[in-house]
């Protein structure tokens, strides 16, 4: 009996650790990105359904993570890559953390399957301004 109890306790502790939300689960704690900084790896496992719902791809909220960047000029492309259980993504760009419409939003970019992409130009962005990226799994998918 004792080994089973230890195994169950270990499983419960492990589930609690994995259930914690990532630090960038909220817009206010968005992780800053360097423009032209290359690819980053992130996960939305453990995130909450408490953020604004992006205006593209349906009415279901997404389990999201947040990033920010300061616009320094030129064109910018922001992509998601599908991995593991995260088989469909949605991304949106905002000019702040307060509720408001997305500047641009994408779900299922043409030619990328269910991955998402934002293509931004200088006419859409203001030099020196900070922008916030909401990225997550469509229909609450995580990965």
- Residue pLDDT, tens place only, 76-125: 888 887 777 777 788 889 999 877 888 988 887 777 777 787 888 888 89
**pTM here?**
0.80
Residue 119 CA to residue 88 CA, distance in Å, equals 18
Mean pLDDT, rounded, for 27-52:
85
Residue 55 CA to residue 102 CA, distance in Å, equals 7
The answer to whether the CB of 86 falls within 8 A of the CB of 128 is no
Q: Residue 98: CB partners within 8 Å, gap ≥ 6?
A: none
Mean pLDDT, rounded, for 68-78:
89
The answer to whether the CB of 29 falls within 8 A of the CB of 68 is no
Number of Cβ within 10 Å of residue 85's Cβ equals 10
Q: Bridge-partner residues for 79, per DSSP?
A: 117
Least confident of 8-22, 53-67, 111-125, 126-140: 8-22
The answer to whether the CB of 44 falls within 8 A of the CB of 50 is no
Please give the structure tokens belonging to residue 29.
Answer: 């704690």
């Amino acid at each position: 009996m004792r080994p089973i109890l230890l195994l169950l306790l270990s499983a419960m502790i492990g589930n609690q650790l994995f259930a914690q939300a990532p630090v960038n689960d909220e817009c206010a704690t968005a992780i800053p990105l360097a423009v032209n900084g290359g690819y980053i790896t992130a996960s939305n496992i453990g995130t909450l359904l408490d953020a604004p719902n992006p205006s593209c791809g349906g009415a279901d909220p997404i389990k999201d993570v947040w990033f920010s960047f300061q616009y320094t000029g030129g064109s910018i492309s922001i992509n998601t890559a599908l991995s593991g259980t995260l088989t469909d993504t949605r991304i949106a760009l905002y000019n702040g953390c307060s509720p408001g419409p997305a500047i641009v939003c994408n779900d299922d970019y043409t030619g990328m399957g269910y991955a998402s992409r934002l293509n931004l130009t200088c006419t859409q962005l203001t030099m020196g301004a900070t922008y916030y990226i909401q990225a997550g799994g469509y229909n609450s998918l995580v990965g």
